[in-house]
Structure formats: C-alpha cells, structure tokens
Amino acid sequence: AQKITQTQPGMFVQEKEAVTLDCTYDTSDPSYGLFWYKQPSSGEMIFLIYQGSYDQQNATEGRYSLNFQKARKSANLVISASQLGDSAMYFCAMRDQGAQKLVFGQGTRLTINP
C-alpha cells in the first residue's frame, strides 16, 4: 500500500531564505508519481511540481525544485528565495502507476516571517 509521510507539522522561515519541506514515501510499485501541492488559507489546492519515478533529473518549476532521492524514498520540496506569499499548507502526494487515487501526506504549515 502507498504511504506518504511529512514529519514537519510546522516550519518558520525568514523571508528570502531557502526552505526544504520533507516528504518520504513507501510503495511496492516500481512506477509512480510524486506531487507537491500548496494550500493557502482560501482552501484551494495549487499544483506545484511533479516527479516521475523514472525521471532522471530532479524536477524544477521556477522557485520550486524537488530533491528526489529514490533509494531513500524521499521527495523533498525546496523553495528558493522564500516570499511572504509562500505561507501556506504544503502537501506531498503520490500515485502509483495505473492507480487512480492520489494519496496525501499530513501536510506542513509553512510560515514566512518578514
């Protein structure tokens, strides 16, 4: 069965600093996808970045990058040059190849301080 673990309930970071949000996963399927979503206080789920299990390079999308360490089963999200608007809940999620459902981690509340 799939399992996603986010061990940081909350993170506090100074504006303009980089921040790493941890995510570990477990699955028996060799083919899977990993996702990160941002959920601001409004509640909408905003897709940030995707990493496929067979992708050779770490995914990057603007200030977001995914530090994918397959052997360790970790998929940490790195946000560079943090901004006040980055304050939100962040969820890591995964989906096995061929599976329909997306399984979410517990989430990390990120607060950016001015």
Partner 1 sequence: GAVVSQHPSRVICKSGTSVKIECRSLDFQATTMFWYRQFPKQSLMLMATSNEGSKATYEQGVEKDKFLINHASLTLSTLTVTSAHPEDSSFYICSARGIKQGLAGDEQYFGPGTRLTVT
Q: Which of 9, 114 has the CB closer to partner 1?
A: 9
- Least Å distance, CB 51 to partner 1, is 12
The Cβ of residue 60 has, within 10 Å, a number of other Cβ atoms equal to 12
> Using CB under 8 A, which of the segments 20-28, 69-77, 78-86, 99-107 binds partner 1?
99-107
What is the rounded (10 degree) CA torsion for 111, 109, 64, 73?
140
The Cβ of residue 40 has, within 10 Å, a number of other Cβ atoms equal to 13
Q: With binding defined as CB under 8 A, does residue 85 bind partner 1? A: no
Cβ-Cβ contacts under 8 Å for 23 (sequence gap 6 or more): 4, 5, 6, 34, 36, 74, 75, 76, 77, 92, 105
> Using CB under 8 A, which of the segments 24-32, 41-49, 59-67, 80-88 binds partner 1?
41-49
The footprint of partner 1 on this chain (CB under 8 A) covers a number of residues equal to 18
Interface with partner 1 by CB under 8 A: which residues? Answer: 35, 37, 42-45, 47, 50, 91, 95, 100-107
